[in-house]
Structure 1
Amino acid sequence: MIYEIAELTIKPGTHAAFEAAVREAVPLFQRAKGCVSMRIERTIERPETYRLVVGWETLEHHTVDFRGSEDFTAWRGLVGGYFAEPPKVEHTETVVDGF
């Protein structure tokens, strides 16, 4: 499994609206080919910073299938207006699963 981890910095004072938009977008991820999980986390030390963590079966499910889909366009339409800067996206894979 591959994890997409996107650091999202939003405009101050838009927390509630941004989180509502993310909730609205959940079905976009649920129906995406190869998507097995999705969550958003808010950084305690930097309240305008969130991390979107999405589990994908393969890297291509994210980079090709989802990013090339209408649902990706819909996702960006829902949340993109809240971004204070472009998202920083990385992909990870588990190399040690401690417990």
Structure 2
Amino acid sequence: MILEVAHLDVTPGREADFESAFGVAQALISTIDGYLEHELQRCLERPNRYVLLVRWNSLEAHTQGFRGSPQYQQWKALLHHFYDPFPTVEHYRAVESSRS
């Protein structure tokens, strides 16, 4: 399992619009082969900062499957104009976990 971590800085004052657009966009990502689950969390100290956590069964499911899909083009149109600066995205593999 691969964990995608995206740090999302939304233009201040556009948080509600971003969250609404994300509500639509999340249906797109969940249709991709290899997608497992996701969560969007909002920072308490910096209310325009979010972290998106997406679990994939492989790195390629994200980097080739999702990013190469028509759904990604829709995702970009819905969300990318909210970011300032553009997000940093990294991928992680578990070393230790308390999850069963």
**TM-score (norm: length of structure 1):** 0.95
Deviation string 1:60-94 (CA, Å, 9 cap, x unpaired) is: 00011111111111111101111111110000111
> 5+ unaligned residues in a row in structure 2: which ranges?
none
Aligned to 2:67: 67
State how 1:80-91 maps to structure 2 within 5 Å: 80-91=80-91
Structure 2 distance, partners of 1:69, 1:3, is 19
Helix, strand or coil for the counterpart of 2:61?
helix
Q: CA RMSD in A?
A: 0.9
Structure 1 distance, partners of 2:50, 2:7, is 6
CA offset at residue 30 of structure 1?
A: 1.3
CA offset at residue 8 of structure 1?
A: 0.6
Structure 1 runs of 4+ off > 4 angstroms?
none
Deviation string 1:3-57 (CA, Å, 9 cap, x unpaired) is: 1000010101011100000000111111011001011111111111101111100
Structure 1 distance, partners of 2:74, 2:50, is 19
> 5+ unaligned residues in a row in structure 1: which ranges?
none
Structure 1 distance, partners of 2:87, 2:15, is 16
CA offset at residue 98 of structure 1?
A: 2.8
Letter in structure 1 aligned against 2:54: V
Helix, strand or coil for the counterpart of 1:50?
strand
Counting aligned pairs with the same residue, the percent is: 37
Aligned pair count reads 99
Aligned to 1:7: 7
